[in-house]
Amino acid sequence: MQNTDMTQQDQEIRDLLKDYPMPEADAGFYDQALARATHEGSRRQRNRWLATGFGAALAAGLALWMIGATFLTSPELPDVDTAIPGITMALEEPRTVNLVFSSATRLDAAMLTVSLPAGVELAGFPGQSEISWETSLKEGKNVLPLTLIALTPAGGELLAHLEHDKRDRTFRLQLNIS
Amino acid sequence: MSTAENSQTFERLVRPHFDRLYRLAWRLTGSKAAAEDLFQELLLKAFGKLDDLVKLDEPGSWLCRVMYNLFIDEQRRFQRRRMHTVEEGQLPGEGLAGLPGPGSPDYDNERLEKIRRLDAALAKLSDEHRIVVLLHDSEGYKISEIQALTGVPGGTVKSRLSRARARLRDILTADGTVS
């Protein structure tokens, strides 16, 4: 009887997994991705001397921007990469960047301030170059999606300043506009 | 080859595999933004390897492996930065956004609720277990295909699949999703 029940449960879970949804790519996404790859790839080939630095930025272009936040429980500050992570955005195309804060402990009433370079806006906050809000971080990974829009090709650094209990840390993300 | 010829050759080789690659990116990352970035990163990497790509009999399989390795590399970078203690239950479940809502002829409240619970249960699995069970049970990959993709021995893939299913069964039985 037990085995029969387990089999039925397994089958039902398999059926649910088969139905587990996944959205299709946005219209035009494939074409844009292809164009960026060939454009950027060709540029790299022409400018090999730039490849190392630019490659680091593109590697960081996996927009899961991961931030060490062990600082609030460890006497040591988190490792700071000498290279600033970066992403490449298209002009006037919304781009969602997931800021990932990993905290070793729960943090209540932390103050997060996002500062944007000139010409880049946060969707829903037109004309604001600095947005602050109080937030709580859970122990573990905390994901904050920010949808950015580049209005000019200048680019620059996005700063995320996290402050809690008189301790703070600023993280940087280079925004390159193509 | 000229730049234009390179671009055309590249597109001819990779475009037939876009849907498969996008699905893989989604299953690996679990979010739209991360999937799109992984997809983009793969194309950048692959374009730089065009000379190798043109010689391959099965560029699709190669592209999948490169994508998987890019994903794993990113995970390792994450760990190297000492951002440990990744809590369970963090997947955003954006894929559920496309489900039919009330008023849709396809709307099935009970079924949708079960899928939402499945989503929550999947988010409680480790990456290793979640990826294997999604590739095998949702995407229809064979054990040998997962082995080729991940480089993990077939026996280990089977073990992970078995444990992932058992964990899902425990979670979904406990919350009454399956009975």
Distance CA B74, CA B38 (A): 10
Q: What are phi and psi of A25, to 5 degrees?
A: -65, 150
pLDDT of residue A116: 93
Which residues 138-167 of B have a C-beta within 8 angstroms of A?
A: 138, 165
Question: Does the distance separating the beta carbons of A69 and B7 come in below 8 Å?
Answer: no
Of B80, B111, B131, the residue at which a domain comes to its end is B80
> In this structure, are B10 and B75 located in the same domain?
yes
Chain A contact present for B31, CB below 8 A: yes
> In this structure, are B101 and B161 located in the same domain?
yes
Distance CA B4, CA A104 (A): 50
pTM here is 0.59
What's the structural domain count of chain B? 2
A-interface mutation test, from B27, B81, B132, most A Cβ less than 10 A away:
B81
B101 located within any domain: yes
Distance CA B139, CA B153 (A): 19
Domain A60-178: which topology? Immunoglobulin-like (2.60.40)
Cα Rg of chain B, angstroms? 18
B86 located within any domain: no
Chain A contact present for B8, CB below 8 A: no
How do the domains of chain A map onto residue ranges?
A: 26-59, 60-178
Asked whether A32 and A90 are in contact (CB, 8 A), the reply is yes
Closest chain B residue to the Cα of A100, Cα to Cα: B83
Distance CA B154, CA A38 (A): 36
> In this structure, are B73 and B98 located in the same domain?
no
> In this structure, are B16 and B75 located in the same domain?
yes
Distance CA A12, CA B110 (A): 13
Identify each DSSP E strand in chain A by its residue range. Answer: 64-69, 86-89, 95-103, 107-115, 120-122, 130-137, 140-150, 156-164, 167-177
Domain boundaries, position B52 = 3-80
Distance CA B92, CA B74 (A): 18
Per-residue pLDDT of chain B (179 residues), as tens digits, is 677 888 999 999 999 999 999 999 988 888 777 788 889 989 999 999 999 999 998 899 999 999 999 998 877 665 443 322 233 333 445 555 555 555 565 656 777 888 888 988 888 888 889 999 999 999 999 999 999 999 999 999 999 999 999 999 999 999 888 88
> In this structure, are B73 and B107 located in the same domain?
no
Distance (Å) from the C-alpha of residue A108 to the closest C-alpha of chain B?
17
